[in-house]
Amino acid sequence: MKNLKVYVIATVFVLVLLVGTGVLLTSGKAVGQSLFGKSFAEKELRNYVSSVMRQQLNGVSCQPVDTDSNGYVSCDYTTVAEPETTHSIECSAWGLDGFLNRGCKARAILPVR
């Protein structure tokens, strides 16, 4: 009887842990991006600029929420070499799309009509 209680408690704990993790990963905008979106995107930006562009960052700022649902959030950054020039880029957002995308890409510029 005592082993059954331990088994039930352990099973419930594992289920709550799995459901909670799933909610954070898939809820994206509602919970996950609000809590972790900004720091996740800024980490992706730091990795991208240091490894791909081979530059040292001076400052970074990323949006926490993916408003257009493309898996990326808008970020701005400055480098030590050009501290007066702000560069714009899109970096992967927290959530399933962001985990599949990883990294950053040039921001799409739409023509003005």
| More reliable by pLDDT, 37 or 108 | 37
Which ranges constitute the DSSP H helices of 1-113? 2-27, 32, 38-51, 96-101
pLDDT at 70: 84
CA distances from 76 to 45, 49, 59, 111 (A): 9, 12, 8, 20
> Quick one: 28 exposed, middle or buried, by C-beta within 10 A (0-12, 13-18, 19+)?
buried
pLDDT tens digits, 18-66:
776 666 555 545 566 777 788 889 999 999 988 888 889 899 999 988 8
Q: What is the share, in percent, of the chain residues with pLDDT greater than 90? A: 23
